[in-house]
Amino acid sequence: MKKFGLLILSAILGSALTIGSFFLFNLNEKEPVRIQHLSGAPVVGTAYTVNEEGDVVPLEFTDVAANVMPAVVHIKSTQVSRISGNQYRSVPDPFRDFFDDDILERFFGPEFNNPRQQRELVPRVGSGSGVIINSDGYIVTNNHVIDNADDIEVTLHDNRVYKARVIGTDPSTDLALIQIKGKGLPYIPFVNSDDVEVGEWVLAVGNPFNLNSTVTAGIVSAKARNINILQDQSAIESFIQTDAAINMGNSGGALVNLQGGLIGISTAIASPTGGYAGYGFAVPSNIVSKVVEDLLEYGSVQRGYLGLMIRSVDGNLALEEDLDITQGVYVDSITAESAAGEAGIKVGDVITRVDGSEVKSSSELLELIGRKRPGDKVDLTVNRAGHVKEYTVALRSREGTTGIIVTEPDEILEVLGIELEDIDKNTARKLGIPGGVKITGLHSGKLRNTTDIREGYIITKVDGEQINSKDEFIRIMKDKEGGVMFEGVYEDYPGIYYYAFGI
């Protein structure tokens, strides 16, 4: 008991001496307060994992983060909204010198030069992330990050800044491929996203809220998630779900495994507040890889279709349709000229496997088919009234063909920043025009930067010369210099619209 009392007394005296020394030390103004720092303190792994060889290794993220951060970039996209007093009067001020006043008045009326009609430029700036995928400056990001941008600026991890050009986009998966003029750049390699397992550790790297090079950690929470966020008619949603923190600005960033391989592109969050709530979603790398390959090789994404209307099987559907199974993909209906229908698939069939891989939901089926091109053959296993059957289907494009369509970019179309297609005879007859070409895509270029033109505009004449096809338009435009006047119509607006610009 005495020893215990002595220990308490010693502790009290020691504390008193320490406190007294502290105050005496600080009261002596001639002596500065010294704070001791420890350098080289080891990082202690808080957990362990097992590698492919079965070895137990400490679970820490520093090496992975150091390797992948230099390959994740910040993207600033600027869109200039143009406000004009009258959308019919669309000749920008810098190019009025290309046209005589009598031509302008003939097209637009005497009130064209009214100062109230002058254009206002209102810039809108958005930001996101991107992933460098090879050393030549190709970068994958989300389509919604750069969609309709007039200017795309990329900032690297080391603060170098580049302007980027759009190589191609795929709204169906919300992916885009852009390129900067950089060489020898760090990049992240793709890995097989099919091998990713629920519960696996992952890192999300991006630029949330303009906080560059932010790394968060979490696990794979689920696979093949469909959250109905993409509005495209042929949307493919089969997201990897993670609880790694993803916020605004992470879009287009990297989701990597602990070996530093790219398993997905961060795309969306589910949140009641608009901020992180534990549910982030990424496009699997196998889909990303296929989109990138198509854009580089063919100029556009080549996608095969089964020609089916489908839905996931669950307990309620199994009871409703008297099915023997509760997992798979139910065939609701078959479209005209359906590739699967002609191969023998029927309404009421439940697709259970694609090329030997089990499918439990429609999102899994869409992902597997979405990696295929027109003409590719797939083996489908179906359950038909309790009997298992096998079918081989030659996939078709949305137009019903099995061929690959190669889109060769034309220089004049890149300068104008447009994509065109010929209009069919029925559309021409309905609009009361002999023919024309329709703008199906509008990117950064002469038309977006200097006019109010919109997607869907049908060009019927160029400087008074009738246009009947895309080839004819390109041939005429290649020789143009100075001022150019488009005449055309919109399907959903009455009247004739004129747009003028300078080359």
- pLDDT tens digit string along 214-264? 999 999 999 999 999 998 878 999 999 999 999 999 999 999 999 999 999
| CATH of range 308-394; options 2.30.42.10, 1.10.645.10, 1.10.3720.10, 3.40.50.2000 | 2.30.42.10
Q: How far is CA 25 from the centre of its chain?
A: 61
Q: What is the pTM of this model?
A: 0.76
If you average pLDDT over residues 424-452, what whole number do you get? 87
Nearest to 220 by CA among 198, 238, 253, 205: 198
Q: Does residue 200 surpass a pLDDT of 80?
A: yes
How many other CB atoms sit within 10 Å of the CB of residue 316?
A: 9
Q: Please provide the CATH number assigned to the domain covering 193-298.
A: 2.40.10.10
Burial of 51 (0-12, 13-18, 19+ CB in 10 A): exposed
Catalytic residue numbers read 144, 174, 251
Per the CB < 8 A criterion, the answer to whether 224 and 172 are in contact is: no
Q: How far apart are CA 144 and CA 129, in angstroms?
A: 11
- Reported as a single tens digit per residue, the pLDDT across 264-277 is 999 999 988 888 99
Torsion angle in degrees (nearest 10) through CA of 445, 450, 456, 460: -100
Residue 369, judged by CB atoms within 10 A of its CB (0-12, 13-18, 19+), counts as: buried
Taking the C-alpha atoms of 365, 366, 371 and 372 in order, what is their torsion angle to the nearest 10 degrees? 80
In this structure, CATH architecture of domain 411-502 = Roll (2.30)
Quick: pLDDT tens for 126-165.
999 999 999 999 999 999 999 888 889 999 999 999 999 9
Q: What's 229's DSSP letter?
A: -
Burial class (CB in 10 A: 0-12, 13-18, 19+), 449: middle
Give the DSSP per-residue string, 20-86: HHHHHHHH-TTSPPP-----SPPPPPS-EEE-TTS-EEE---HHHHHHHGGGEEEEEEEEEEEE-S-
Q: Evaluate whether 308-394 and 411-502 have a shared fold.
A: yes
pLDDT in tens, 376-413: 999 999 999 999 999 999 999 988 888 887 776 677 88
Amino acid identity at 28? N
Q: Residue ranges of the domains in the chain?
A: 193-298, 308-394, 411-502
pLDDT beyond 50 at 13: no
